[in-house]
Chain A
């Protein structure tokens, strides 16, 4: 179940992309997703594709991870592409079945939409595969810190996030143990109708909730016992270092934007 989910997983490595500052990666990823909408012809899409492939190559990660990243979205992609093919009008009419017409524009548009999807998934998969969840939450705190001015609880949110991330493996282990314990008492998690399956989840969820609350209580005691009083007056152990390569990566994004403006129709 957990193996299929490639999004949100981290593959350790020591490439240029891995060593980039997480803030740079986060900003670049979001920026890339925004400027992808600037592309509107074959040349601009070509530039974006080359850029993405180059980034993947630099990360040293196997391409199969990225294909796996696309898989869960496949249905959505195909659905959108089909809609585009059949319901975009204009250009030369190529083919018609009753009211459904396939036009030149439709095919071109569908191709662009397809590329757009795949590129967005590739680039965001690249970010999560090459960055530890912890440094992502650090990056988020750092990027959001200007929001402190409008009394947005940045420290609390980032603490919540890092505790949540720290407990993911613990809770996964726990889920496994409870499932096994319930199986030993005869609960069947995979058989039966949908309703039966849903009912079988109850003896898994209730203990999991109870133990999560118990854990939260223990953790808050342990935090208080070690002097936690909230964000004020706290120093930070983890430090993010903005190096030259990070500025270069942002520069690459600017260059990309320039190219897109030059070659778009």
Chain B
């Protein structure tokens, strides 16, 4: 099976910051239909590698493959059409003056005829449950709603990969849940591959696989269970622990015996109930 995204030995340094590699020999593979979370502390190169995947930045050396094709200057626009990206700041990625204009922006760029655009915009807005906001201006929407419009703009283009570049980091908890559940629904319906770059450890816990980055390198990789069971090692990387892990740690400090493997909140509750019954 060929991976849908493959990075091979990517090196990258920012202009004016020679000798400090933002990405240092980064390689990984992502397969079709996966939800992969990339976590790491500030400045670990998470966002940089996302921009390299859709060609917004050019790597100093190394190769990017999307659906088996090597990303190059000639095919960057074709491959970019397969990758939809939701950025961090909901305000700054809103191009259109109204919701429908913004969703149509990508379609206009691809030269889609107007009759088809009308249908696609309508469908995409229904998909993210924003159809009643169709004619509203961005200033009247909440952050979570703006991000849902950004998602609709991508859904309208029907890409095969969605990259969330810290898409929920500027939202309140409610907006965050809205956005995550919207993505989960769309991923299920369209069999998308999701690459989510995040600080939010609870968001990462939803992923199929987690990649941990530190100073431009991939330092760890595994299922959420594998990653989170490393507990204190993650804290050393400057990352937070998911709530269930923090609870386990706090219990341990108070002398309560807890299992060492990672547990989701549900499983922790189950474990607790079965313990009480004894």
Using a CB–CB cutoff of 8 Å, the interface residues on chain A facing chain B are 133-134, 162-163, 165-166, 169-170, 173, 214-215, 218-219, 221-229, 233-239
Contact = CB atoms under 8 A, between A and B. Distances in A.
Interface in B78-105: 80-81, 83-85, 87, 89, 91-98, 100-101, 104-105
A237 B104 contact: yes
Nearest to B101: A237
Contacts of A224: 56, 80
A218 B89 contact: yes
A94 B197 CA distance: 83
A235 to B, nearest CB: 5
Interface of B: 51, 54, 56, 77, 80-81, 83-85, 87, 89, 91-98, 100-101, 104-114, 117-118, 121, 137-139, 150, 153-154, 157
18 contacts: A166-B137, A170-B139, A215-B92, A219-B92, A221-B51, A221-B56, A221-B93, A222-B150, A225-B85, A226-B109, A226-B153, A227-B81, A227-B109, A229-B109, A234-B109, A235-B113, A237-B105, A237-B118
Contact of B157 (A170, A227, A235): A227
A90 to B, nearest CB: 53
Given A221-B51, A222-B92, A236-B114, A169 B137 contact: yes
Nearest to B153: A226
Contacts of A163: 95
Contacts of A170: 91, 138-139
Given A218-B92, A226-B105, A235 B111 contact: yes
Contacts of B111: 233-235
Contact of B108 (A134, A214, A221, A236): A236
A225 B92 contact: no
Q: Considering residues B87, B97, B106, B137, which has the most beta carbons from chain A within 10 angstroms of its beta carbon?
A: B97
Given A218-B92, A236-B114, 5 more contacts: A166-B97, A219-B92, A225-B85, A226-B106, A233-B111
The list of the 4 closest CB pairs from A to B, nearest first, reads A222-B93, A218-B92, A237-B104, A226-B106
A229 B110 CA distance: 9
Nearest to A233: B111
Given A170-B139, A221-B51, A235-B108, A229 B77 contact: yes
Contacts of A165: 97
Contacts of B104: 237
Contacts of B92: 214-215, 218-219, 222
A238 B77 CA distance: 24
A228 B56 CA distance: 12
A228 B106 CA distance: 7
A221 to B, nearest CB: 6
Given A225-B54, A235-B107, A218 B80 contact: no
B108 A219 contact: no
A187 to B, nearest CB: 25
A21 to B, nearest CB: 17
A218 B93 contact: yes
A225 B97 contact: no
A153 B56 CA distance: 25
B139 A169 contact: yes
B139 to A, nearest CB: 4
Contacts of A225: 54, 56, 80, 83-85, 87
B95 to A, nearest CB: 6
Nearest to A221: B56
Contacts of A215: 89, 91-92
Contacts of B107: 235, 237
A219 B95 contact: yes
Contacts of B89: 215, 218
A241 B107 CA distance: 21
Contacts of B138: 166, 169-170
Contacts of B84: 225-226
Contacts of B109: 226-229, 234
A133 B110 CA distance: 25
